């Protein structure tokens, strides 16, 4: 450009088995060990998403910003699989609650899938699949059910599996694996997972309560409908007639009586009387 040679950085993709105690941030003022310190140093390397310091397992390191954004964005719904050891023994109903959804501070979250792997003496191994990642999401979901997470390890990211890589180790991704990641994060690959997620949310969404109709007697806690049985006849008394000096006038008046009450009567049409001209 303008007579100068432009060097395009070569795309680099690493699969890393993050150990506990290592942070996923690119810069750490405290000087703690970072994930990007576990791979050969290149310019502009960063992690795809994050694992908190207490978690371990599969995390991707790259300098491909476009692919990283697609893999991390919840819109594309790329699956992430975790093996979790929790304290105690969650019931099947509690595990099913993870699928239906848990209410956290930022809203309702749910697991795409949950499998019970093994019950130990004082803990349980569970496999959880997520399609959107929030901060410490699994830990907070299980805490709401009363179970503390003892160990959390990510074992799969989309089509990639952790395999037998030692803790703290890494390997370069092959061309076929990169293409599989691109497909999983493409609009075509994401559309099916988005539809499944949307269908799940729709089928499990709570039904809204209908508001009371007009004429509701909220003090009685009953709903009245503006129908004929909520109107009763009103007829002027003889004293009112003498004061007005006119013939009896019929009208209807709405009463706040519960529907089906014995005091309700059929509605009669309102007879509008012509106005009398007053003598000047």
Weakest mean pLDDT among 31-35, 42-46, 90-94: 42-46
| Residue 250: per-residue pLDDT | 47
Q: What is the pTM of this model?
A: 0.66
Any catalytic annotation for residue 52?
Answer: yes
| Residue 89: per-residue pLDDT | 95
Other Cβ atoms within 10 Å of 52 Cβ, number: 14
pLDDT bracket for residue 191 (50, 70, 90): low
pLDDT digits (tens, 9 = 90+) for 130-173: 998 788 899 999 999 999 999 999 999 999 999 999 999 999 99
- % of the chain beyond a pLDDT of 90: 51
Query: If you average pLDDT over every residue of the chain, what do you get?
Result: 78
Asked whether the predicted pLDDT for residue 193 surpasses 90, the reply is no
Phi/psi of residue 104, nearest 5 degrees = -110, 180
**For the chain, what are the domain ranges?**
13-203, 214-273
Instruction: Give one word for 136, left, alpha or beta, with left for phi > 0 and alpha for psi -120 to 50.
Output: left
Reference 19, options 171, 168, 214; nearest CA is: 168
Other Cβ atoms within 10 Å of 45 Cβ, number: 18
pLDDT bracket for residue 231 (50, 70, 90): very low
Angle at 53 between CA 49 and CA 55, to 5 degrees: 80
Return the SS3 of 169. coil
Contacts of 236 (CB under 8 A, 6+ apart): 244, 248, 249
Region 179-191: what's the mean pLDDT?
Answer: 78
Region 210-221: what's the mean pLDDT?
Answer: 48
- Would you say 35 and 24 are in contact if contact means Cβ atoms under 8 Å apart? yes
**DSSP letter string, 22-40:** -B--S--TT---BGGGGS-
Q: Residue 116 corresponds to which tokens in the numbers above?
A: 């019970």
Q: Which member of 37, 43, 52, 179 is catalytic?
A: 52
Other Cβ atoms within 10 Å of 110 Cβ, number: 19
Domain 13-203, what fold? Answer: Pseudouridine synthase (3.30.2350)
């Amino acid at each position: 450009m303008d007579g100068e040679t432009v060097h395009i950085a070569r795309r680099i993709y690493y699969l890393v088995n993050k150990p506990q105690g290592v942070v996923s941030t690119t810069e750490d003022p405290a000087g703690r060990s970072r994930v990007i310190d576990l791979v050969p140093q290149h310019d502009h390397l960063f992690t795809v998403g994050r694992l908190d310091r207490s978690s371990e397992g599969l995390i991707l390191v790259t300098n491909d910003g476009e692919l990283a954004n697609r893999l991390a964005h919840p819109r594309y719904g790329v699956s992430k699989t975790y093996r979790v050891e929790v304290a105690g023994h969650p019931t099947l109903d509690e595990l099913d609650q993870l699928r239906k959804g848990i209410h956290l501070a930022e809203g309702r979250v749910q697991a795409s899938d949950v499998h019970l792997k093994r019950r130990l003496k004082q803990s349980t191994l569970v496999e959880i699949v997520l399609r959107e990642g929030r901060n410490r999401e699994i830990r907070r979901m299980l805490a709401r059910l009363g179970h503390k997470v003892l160990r959390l390890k990510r074992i799969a990211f989309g089509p990639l599996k952790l395999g037998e890589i030692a803790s703290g180790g890494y390997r370069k991704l092959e061309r076929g694996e990169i293409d599989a990641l691109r497909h999983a994060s493409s609009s075509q690959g994401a559309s099916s997972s988005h539809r499944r997620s949307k269908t799940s949310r729709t089928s499990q969404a709570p039904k809204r309560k209908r508001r009371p109709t007009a004429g509701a007697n909220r003090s009685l806690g009953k709903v009245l409908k503006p129908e004929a049985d909520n109107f009763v006849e009103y007829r002027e008394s003889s004293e009112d007639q003498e004061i007005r000096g006119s013939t009896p006038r019929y009208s209807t008046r709405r009463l706040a009586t519960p529907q089906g009450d014995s005091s309700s009567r059929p509605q009669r049409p309102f007879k509008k009387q012509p106005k009398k001209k007053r003598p000047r």
